[in-house]
């Protein structure tokens, strides 16, 4: 009965991983995030570490995956509601393009801080270059 932990999902960003974790936990599934604290301490390392892995007990894997699929869909629609402002006065530090998008995770962070009690910054804005895909804070 007692199986090991298996990784059912991998996230590049801690907010997404935390949301998925909270969804699973609210459904009664115990889960663990790998790299959580390392990435929380320094976001720049998240890519180097391969993101945040979401692990669940083997016996809950199928159920957890089903929940995550719903989560992904709802997160996708939520993401489309997020404001994307064009910053005239910003340029990509890599390629110099001014086609910049911003994502404001303030709302997600506020929820996450409550849900997983991590000392996260409450205000976090991320920039992404539409030209080369480079992302930075
Ligand atoms: Zn760029």
Q: Which tens digit of pLDDT belongs to each residue from 81-97?
A: 444 554 456 788 889 88
The environment of the single-atom ion ligand 1, i.e. residues with CB closer than 5 A, is 92, 94-95, 97, 129, 131-132, 134
Query: Would you call 71 helix, strand, or coil by DSSP?
Result: helix
Distance 54 CA to ligand 1 centre (A): 30
**Interval between CA 100 and ligand 1 midpoint (Å):** 8
Q: What are phi and psi of 118, to 5 degrees?
A: -95, 150
Show the DSSP H helices in the chain as ranges. 14-26, 36-41, 61-81, 106-116
Are the beta carbons of 54 and 21 closer than 8 angstroms?
A: yes
What's the gap in Å between 6 CA and the centre of ligand 1?
36
User: Ligand 1 center to residue 104 CA distance, Å?
Assistant: 19
23-45 residue pLDDT tens: 999 999 999 888 655 545 555 55
Distance 21 CA to ligand 1 centre (A): 32
Q: Taking residues 44-67, what's their average pLDDT?
A: 80
CA distance 14 to 33: 9
Instruction: Write the class of the CATH domain 82-137.
Output: mainly beta
């Amino acid at each position: 009965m007692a199986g090991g932990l298996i990784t059912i999902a991998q996230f590049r960003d801690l907010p997404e991983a935390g949301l998925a974790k909270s969804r699973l936990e609210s459904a009664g599934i115990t889960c663990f995030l790998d790299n959580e604290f390392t990435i929380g301490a320094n976001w720049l390392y998240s890519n180097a570490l391969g993101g945040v892995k979401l692990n669940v007990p083997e016996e809950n894997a199928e159920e957890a995956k089903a929940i995550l699929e719903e989560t992904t869909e709802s997160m996708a629609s939520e993401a489309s509601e997020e404001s994307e402002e064009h910053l005239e006065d910003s340029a990509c530090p890599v390629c110099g393009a001014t086609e910049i998008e911003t994502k404001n995770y303030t709302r997600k962070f506020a929820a996450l801080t409550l849900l997983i009690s991590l000392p996260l910054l409450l205000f976090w804005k991320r920039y992404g270059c539409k030209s080369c895909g480079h992302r930075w804070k």
